Amino acid sequence: MSFINPLKYAYLAIEAWFNVAFGSEWNPLYNMGRLTFFFFWVVLISGLYLFIFFDTSLSGAYASVEAITYEQKYFGGVMRSLHRYASDAVIITIILHMFREFALGRYNGFRWFSWITGVPTLWFVITLGITGYWLVWDELGLYVAKMSSELIDALPLIPGSMSRNFVGDQVSDRFFTLMAFLHFLGQPLFLVAALWLHVKRLSFVKVSAPQGLAIGSFIALLALSLAEPAVSHQAADAARVPAVLNLDWFYLNVYPLMDYFSAGHTWVITLSITFLLMILPWLPPKKAEPAAEVHLDHCNGCEQCADDCPYDAITVQARTDGAKFEHEVVVNPALCASCGICVGSCPSSNPFRQKNDSLVTGIDMPQRPINEIRDQMDAAIAKLKGDNKVIILGCEHALNFSSLEADNIQVVSLFCIGMMPATLVEYALVHGAEGVFITGCRTGDCFYRYGNVWMDERFDGERQPILRRRAERSRIKVFRAAITDKRRLHKELAEFQNHLKSLKQDQLSVKKEGSHE
Q: Say whether both 270 and 323 belong to one domain.
A: no
The pLDDT score that the predictor gives to residue 172 is 73
159 pLDDT more than 80: no
Question: What's the domain count of the chain?
Answer: 2
Pick the more confident residue, 517 or 436: 436
- 448 lies in a domain? yes
210 by Cβ neighbours in 10 Å (0-12 / 13-18 / 19+) ranks as: buried
Closest C-alpha to 141, from 152, 129, 151, 153: 129
Q: Is residue 286 part of a domain?
A: no
Across-strand partners of 430?
none
Segment 271-286 mean pLDDT: 95
Phi (first) and psi of residue 394, to 5 degrees: -140, 165
Asked whether residue 443 falls in the same domain as residue 342, the answer is yes
SS3 call for 89: helix
pLDDT band at 238 (very low <50, low <70, confident <90, very high): confident
pLDDT, tens only, 323-342? 889 999 999 999 999 999 99
| CATH number of the domain bearing residue 52 | 1.20.810.10
Residue at 228 is within a domain: yes
Does 490 share its domain with 415?
Answer: yes
**Could you tell me what percent of the chain has a pLDDT over 70?**
95
Q: Which among 279, 305, 320 is the end of a domain?
A: 279
Q: Is 267 in the same domain as 314?
A: no
Q: What is the per-residue pLDDT for 78?
A: 96
- Average pLDDT of the residues in 502-514: 77
Q: How far apart are CA 92 and CA 98, in angstroms?
A: 10
Question: Among 33-37, 49-53, 155-159, 313-317, where is mean pLDDT lowest?
Answer: 155-159
**Is residue 233 located within the same domain as residue 378?**
no
What average pLDDT does this structure show over 51-57?
93
Q: What is the pLDDT of residue 58?
A: 87
Residue 414 has pLDDT above 80, yes or no: yes
- Answer yes or no: is pLDDT of 4 > 50: no
pLDDT band at 163 (very low <50, low <70, confident <90, very high): low
User: 3-state class of 395 per DSSP?
Assistant: strand
The whole-number pLDDT of residue 168 equals 44
**128/50 same-domain check:** yes
Residues 325 and 244 in one domain: no
> Residue 17, SS3?
helix
Is residue 2 one of the residues assigned to a domain? no
92/217 same-domain check: yes
Mean pLDDT over residues 343-356, rounded? 92
DSSP string, 99-154: HHHHHTT-SSGGGHHHHHHHHHHHHHHHHHHHHHHHHH-BHHHHHHHHHHHHHHHT
pLDDT at 144: 93
d(CA 130, CA 248): 10
391 lies in some domain = yes
Of 137, 222, 132, 136, give the one whose Cα is nearest residue 182.
132
Specify the pLDDT at position 3.
Answer: 42
Least confident range from 131-135, 162-166, 464-468: namely 162-166
Domain annotation covers residue 486? yes
210 is a domain residue = yes
Q: Are residues 300 and 273 in the same domain?
A: no
Same domain, 302 and 274: no
Mean pLDDT for the chain overall: 92
Predicted confidence at residue 131, as pLDDT, reads 94
Q: Is there a domain that residue 13 lies in?
A: no
Q: In this structure, are 143 and 230 located in the same domain?
A: yes
Does the pLDDT of residue 1 top 50, yes or no? no
Q: Could you report the per-residue pLDDT of 474-490, keeping only the tens digit for each?
A: 999 999 999 999 999 99
* Average pLDDT over every residue of 191-200: 95
Give the range of the structural domain holding residue 366, as residue numbers without chain letter.
293-516
* Residue after which a domain boundary falls, among 244, 279, 314: 279
Mean pLDDT along residues 221-225: 97
Q: Which residue has the higher pLDDT, 41 or 401?
A: 41
Kindly tell me if the per-residue pLDDT of 165 is higher than 70. Answer: no
